A and B are shown apart, each in its own frame.
Chain A
Amino acid sequence: MTDAVLRSPLGRFGLGVAALFLATAAFAPWLSPYDPTVQRLGEILQGPSRSHPLGTDQYGRDVLSQVLHGGRVSLQVALTAVAVAGLAGVPLGVLAGFYGRGVDAVLMRLMDVVFAFPSLLLAIALVAFAGPSTMTVMVAIGAVYVATIARITRAAVLTVRSEPYVEAARSLGRGDPGIMGRHVLPNALAPALVQLTLGMARAILYEASLSFIGLGTPPPTPSWGRMLAESKSLVQLAPWTSVTPGAAIALVILAFNFLGDALRDALDPRLRGLQ
């Protein structure tokens, strides 16, 4: 699988940028030249220079240090949201697909209600309900994505559950939990994996969007969306303050999209080149 992802140039690019993002986010405190929250009013809106490689913002904060630390919030939110979506969505999808009938009907109608909301709007509403905090944002984005993961897993389980090896396991006297865990789940996981990778991109986008409109991680913790919101009126005066966080968001989203696509091609060779 890794080989197949690495064989495509876009997959390599995606994996490389994603790995770089993980590393810089993880080691931000050691990589950052400055404390991202310290304001130096004598050094406001300085262009890129040797002492500030990406310049400073309107409060004299170092943009590079802010972007590196902002990546931590994005990564934390995205990983948690995707974990929430996977840990809740996959079991729900397996249950709905495996048992069908009543269980399926109830779960899928519930999901229909979730799908009735435009997903970003639902995340906004959830954050408005619980008050902006990194934790709320993570759970809200994850909760919104649960329905997507459940639906995709359910579809995969529906095709797997009538396979002969499932029948064989049943005739050997295995119980439902054993069949679901050992036979159905491993064979139905691929679409969810692809979707969870793409979900990283979506979670990062939603976190940035929420921060941008003031409903994300509260200050002073740096986040890419808020950096962009605070600097958007300075785009002509000091482009580095807004272009840097904007480009960081776009690049990381692009990387996870490439990675998700390469993963899909690797797991389902029939689709290669079509998507």
Chain B
Amino acid sequence: MTRFIGARLLQSALILVAVSVVVFGFLRLLPGDPIAMMLGERPHPQVVAEIRKLYRLDEPFHVQYALWLGQVARGRFGISYITRRPVIELIGAALGPTLALAVASLAIGVTVGLVTGVIAAVYRGRRQDVVASVLAFVGISVPGFFSAVLLIWLFSLALGWLPPTGYVSPTTSLAGFGRHLALPALALGLILAASTMRMIRSGVLEVLGREYVRTARAKGLGEGEVVGRHVLRNALIPAVTAVGLQLADLLGGAVIIESVFAIPGLGRLTLDSIFARDYPVLQASILMLTGIFLLANLAADLVYALIDPRIRFD
């Protein structure tokens, strides 16, 4: 087990290095001159040269990469070209909202997906199953940004229950935090719920056909106990797989959802820095999102090993 964790950690670190080369390389080749963005339309050539030197943009590619990596290793992601604030501060401020959105969406997705998936499987082929399955198909097909617009329409504009956009930190106001997070988490969570439901349903169906389930029934256990004690535990394994597979969609979706709801998270930081050609911020935020993705994948693998003693990864 320790060896497995070590190997997976090493693998993740190697991938992160590869990713950093890709990120650094791609963004260095981006069109548009960041210095022009900083200094406006007609900067003095000498000022441009000074700034190129100051930020060492005149060095060759590999030197720039090495310099950048050295800084990154010390937790220094540089200074934003636009706001002149340290990138690490911007990332730090954006991390909280994104993690809050991701965790809340995951919670909604897993809970709704688990409950509806089990119901659909237990009532296979009957009305409950058909309704749940069709809803799941709709759920995976409606884009998050469209359901976001519909949710804002219903809960903010028509009913006036929840604020349409914005974000409040939980340290400022816990109620405000919840009220602002509800709609974005729902928009993102329902997509996850739909695909989780489909995987749980097929997982439970497969387990229901196993012999130990027949044995459990034969020894007189009620259906609730059969499902609760024998089926669900085994069906949790595909649930973890489902969540693992959806992490990419979760983070990608968060970028879009943050922009709809004006949440000051990593996704918005990424998009804003793309439009402003703020390289240091863009590099750091993409690296951070990818890092979170790798770590979350690693966590999913470990949970997998914990809940299924048959999996030992050696």
Contact = CB atoms under 8 A, between A and B. Distances in A.
B15 interface: yes
Interface of B is mostly: helix
A96 B29 CA distance: 30
Given A209-B256, A254-B141, A131 B31 contact: yes
A274 B205 contact: yes
Nearest to B25: A129
Given A116-B18, A246-B149, A250-B143, A124 B253 contact: no
Contacts, number: 125
Given A10-B137, A215-B274, A250-B138, 11 more contacts: A113-B22, A116-B290, A118-B248, A118-B251, A118-B293, A128-B282, A212-B143, A213-B271, A228-B149, A235-B153, A273-B205
Interface bin, chain B = 35 or more
A215 B270 CA distance: 13
Given A118-B251, A213-B271, A236-B153, A275 B141 contact: no
Interface of B: 15-16, 18-19, 22-23, 26-27, 29-31, 137-138, 140-143, 145-146, 149-150, 152-153, 157-158, 198, 202, 205-206, 247-253, 255-256, 259-260, 270-271, 274-275, 282, 286, 289-290, 293-294
A198 to B, nearest CB: 10
A112 B153 CA distance: 40
A197 to B, nearest CB: 14
Contacts of A208: 143, 145
B158 A121 contact: no
Interface bin, chain A = 35 or more
Interface of A: 10, 112-113, 116-121, 124-126, 128-131, 201, 205, 208-209, 212-215, 225, 228-229, 232, 235-236, 239, 242-243, 246, 249-251, 253-254, 257-258, 273-275
Given A112-B15, A129-B30, A274-B202, A239 B143 contact: no
Contact of B146 (A121, A246, A273): A246
B19 A116 contact: yes
Given A129-B27, A209-B143, A258 B137 contact: yes
Contact of B141 (A201, A228, A243, A274): A201
A181 to B, nearest CB: 32
Contacts of A239: 153
Contacts of A274: 202, 205-206
A229 B23 CA distance: 28
Contact of A250 (B142, B157, B256, B275): B142
B198 A242 contact: no
B18 A113 contact: yes
A117 B30 contact: no
B151 to A, nearest CB: 10
A113 B152 CA distance: 37
B138 A121 contact: no
